[in-house]
Structure 1
Amino acid sequence: MARRRRIYEGKAKVLFEGPEPGTLVQYFKDDATAFNNQKHGVITGKGVLNNRISEFLMQRLVEIGIPTHFVRRLNMREQLVREVEIIPVEVVIRNVAAGSLVKRFGVPEGQLLPRAIVEYYYKSDSLGDPMISEEHITAFGWATTQEIDDILALSLRVNDFLTGLFVGIGLRLVDFKLEFGRLYNEDEMRIVLADELSPDNMRLWDAKTNEKMDKDRFRQDLGGVKEAYQEVARRLGILPEGGPTDMKGPKVMQ
């Protein structure tokens, strides 16, 4: 890694210059952060698990026609991605009341929402990622009205697909965060899904017990963070009891 040019380092990942023009290498760290980086820890092996889980989910989305920046996994901690212009808007899709939604509106945690709620947040650590509206997004030039429409349509498709996938392996997709970018190809531009898909940026609960299987275990000092991530990977069929493999399909829970 030392010989490669570092492009950007975030809380959980590092981006390096890729082997070909228009590509980057996305490296998954073991760092865990919460509350806008006020809480920090290291969970050995988390980066390996997130790399594999994100690869699996991105591939499944590509198969149903969702454009993404993902190209392929390179090794245990790295994947090759297309270089995109990140739109500074985080999209949060909520299916079940949890997290800040509970605090803001007094809704009981675990209450099923009448429909998927989509929220937008300005991607800025220094400002605490404030919640924003479509008016803010267009007024400040972060995205156009057409881009917002594309992002919303893609977000709802991703939610619909992932909700069904996780139901099949005994997990509830409570909520999750998505990021999008502009992918340029000569004179053409299209909006694509970027960043990652893992228990770091989604809430997953066991469908029977409501046990939390995501980064809330770190946020709330519940312990067993790595074990929860491993269980998600096992249910997806990419980390069975016998050890890591490249199995392609999720294990259906009875």
Structure 2
Amino acid sequence: MARRRQLYEGKAKVLFEGPEPGTLVQYFKDDATAGNGVKNGIITGKGVLNNRISEYLMLKLHDLNIPTHFIKRLNMREQLIREAEIIPLEVVIRNIAAGSIAKRLGIEEGTRLPRTIIEYYYKNDSLGDPMVSDEHISAFNWATPQELDDMNGMALRINDFLMGVFSSVGITLVDFKLEFGRLWEGDEMRIILADEISPDNCRLWDSKTNEKMDKDRFRRDMGKVEEAYQEVARRLGILTESNNGDHQGPEAVQ
């Protein structure tokens, strides 16, 4: 596919204009950041793996009638997606205490929460993506109460699905982040899942050992980051033997 005009570059992905109106091409980079860009690095082959892992999970969600922006994978690093009006919120779904909630509330990391908790963060890197309430969301018109209900309902359904998928391959879904957008079709609007689902925005632990298999290995300088991403893809059945000689990262199944 010929390279098209770049529209946006984020920390992990680049968006290009799509071949048809209402579409975009999403390119997955190997760049890794932590602390809202304070820490930067490269995870070799991450873009390839995240592209395939996200494709795999988005297609499964489609089978559950959960609307997403995903249309199809174009190649090893690019997806064709629907253009949506992104809602400026990160929706975080927590099953087990880890990361910021453990620090904020003094809960030992690894403690199973009494029930699944949903948190909202305002998408603004310069402010450090502050945590916000539904009152903030309504007052500042980031999303209507109905839109928030739609996002919550979808988030809980996605959580149930992902917990089952990962549990079946020996992985515990600790928490994860979702982003949503408004898809306009004429005068009709619906909320759809956007962004990606991958070890970049999911905390994934080995079910037996609690070994981390996600970007926390990069955040916390634990090493073996590439191997962790590869292991997630391998367990999901979308990774062949790594091709270590070409420095291009692992080879995903076509």
TM-score range, shorter chain: over 0.9
Give, in angstroms, the shift of residue 3 of structure 1. 4.6
> Cα offset for 1:240?
3.8
AA at the equivalent of 2:146: Q
* Residue of structure 2 in register with 1:14 after alignment: 14
SS of aligned partner of 2:75: coil
2:133 maps to what in 1?
133
After superposition, residues 36-75 of structure 1 pair within 5 angstroms as 36-75=36-75
Shift of 1:44: 1.6
The amino acid across from 1:22 in the alignment is G
Alignment partner of 1:36: what SS?
coil
Cα distance in 2 for partners of 1:18, 1:3 equals: 10
Secondary structure of the 1:204 match is strand
Output the CA distance in 2 between the equivalents of 1:169 and 1:142. Answer: 37
Q: 1:180 is aligned with what amino acid?
A: F
| Paired position in structure 1 for 2:159 | 159
Q: Displacement, 1:87? A: 0.1
Query: Which residue identity is paired with 1:102?
Result: A
TM-score (norm: length of structure 2)? 0.95
Q: TM-score, normalised by structure 1?
A: 0.95
What residue is the counterpart of 2:98 in the other structure? Answer: 98
For residues 65-89 of structure 1, what are the alpha-carbon distances to aligned partners after superposition, in whole Å with 9 as ceiling and x for unaligned? 1100000000000000000000001
Cα distance in 1 between the residues matched to 2:79 and 2:6 = 15
Deviation at 1:187, TM superposition (A): 1.1
> What CA deviation, in whole Å up to 9, does each residue of 1:175-213 have, x standing for no partner?
000000000001110000000000000100000000000
Aligned twin of 2:122: 122
One-letter code aligned to 2:113 = L
The aligned length equals 246
Question: RMSD over aligned Cα, in angstroms?
Answer: 1.2
Q: CA deviation at 1:134?
A: 0.4
2: CA distance between counterparts of 1:166 and 1:238? 13
* In 1: Cα distance, 2:117 partner to 2:50 partner: 25
Deviations 1:104-144 (A, max 9, x none): 00101101111100000000001100000001001001000
Asked if residue 245 in structure 1 is aligned to residue 234 in structure 2, the reply is: no
Q: C-alpha separation between the residues in 1 aligned to 2:111 and 2:210? A: 12
Identical positions, percent: 73
Change beyond 3 A, Cα 1:52–1:3: closer
Matched residue of 1:92: which SS? strand
What amino acid maps onto 1:54 in structure 2? S
- C-alpha deviations, 1:221-240, integer Å up to 9, x for none? 01111110000000000014
Alignment correspondent of 2:173 = 173
Cα gap change, 1:3/1:65 in structure 2, threshold over 3 Å: closer, same or farther?
Answer: closer
Give the distance between the partners of 2:26 and 2:167, measured in 1 at CA: 29
Q: Is the 8 A contact 2:93 2:117 kept in 1?
A: yes
What residue in structure 2 maps to residue 250 of structure 1? Answer: none
Following TM superposition, by how much is the alpha carbon of 1:244 offset from its aligned partner in structure 2, in angstroms? 3.1
Corresponding position of 2:85: 85
